[in-house]
Amino acid sequence: MKYLLDVNALIAFGLFHHVFHNRVTSWAASLKGVPLLTCPTTELGFVRVTAQAPDYGFTVAQAQTLLNSLKTKNKAPLTFLPDGTDIAQLPAWVKTSKQTTDGHLLQLANANDALLATLDERIPGAFTIPKGSAA
């Protein structure tokens, strides 16, 4: 099994002071070598949010550096998944603009034999990262 981290899970994974950092890193550690994936959408979202949110205080360059470090130096390295999924692949449950990214990421994960790993319990068919330390 492989897991594509959504933007919120990727941010929690990368930022020590994020409220869900321990939840995501404990889960990732329990996977013991199961690949964790990023994609253009999640990487851009990570950089955008961490550089935009005053709570984080990163510049774009600092956010990029942090993400690159996560991808190469982490105990659970992140693997980049190219995105070849177009808008025609959105699931039928996507009805509002707020659901488009979730729907797209879910379809991208499915197309690559992965699960979309998220903290959001409202995404049909996604894997919600458990609140405990075991997957």
Q: Which residues pair with 79 in a beta bridge?
A: 37
Domain that holds residue 55: 3-128
Question: Tell me, what CATH number does 106's domain have?
Answer: 3.40.50.1010
State the alpha helices, DSSP H only, in 15-115: 21-30, 40-52, 60-73, 100-111
Residue 21 counted as domain residue: yes
Rounded to the nearest 10 degrees, the angle between the axes of helix 60-73 and helix 7-14 is: 80
Min mean pLDDT across 22-31, 55-64, 84-93, 100-109 is at: 84-93
Task: Flag whether pLDDT at 134 surpasses 50.
Answer: no
Phi/psi of residue 117, nearest 5 degrees: -95, 125
Residue 135 counted as domain residue: no
Q: Please give the model's pTM, rounded to 2 decimal places.
A: 0.91
Residue 133 counted as domain residue: no
How many domains are there within the chain?
1
Question: How large a percentage of the chain has pLDDT more than 70?
Answer: 98
Q: Render pLDDT for 35-57 as a digit per residue (tens, 0 to 9).
A: 999 999 999 999 999 999 888 88
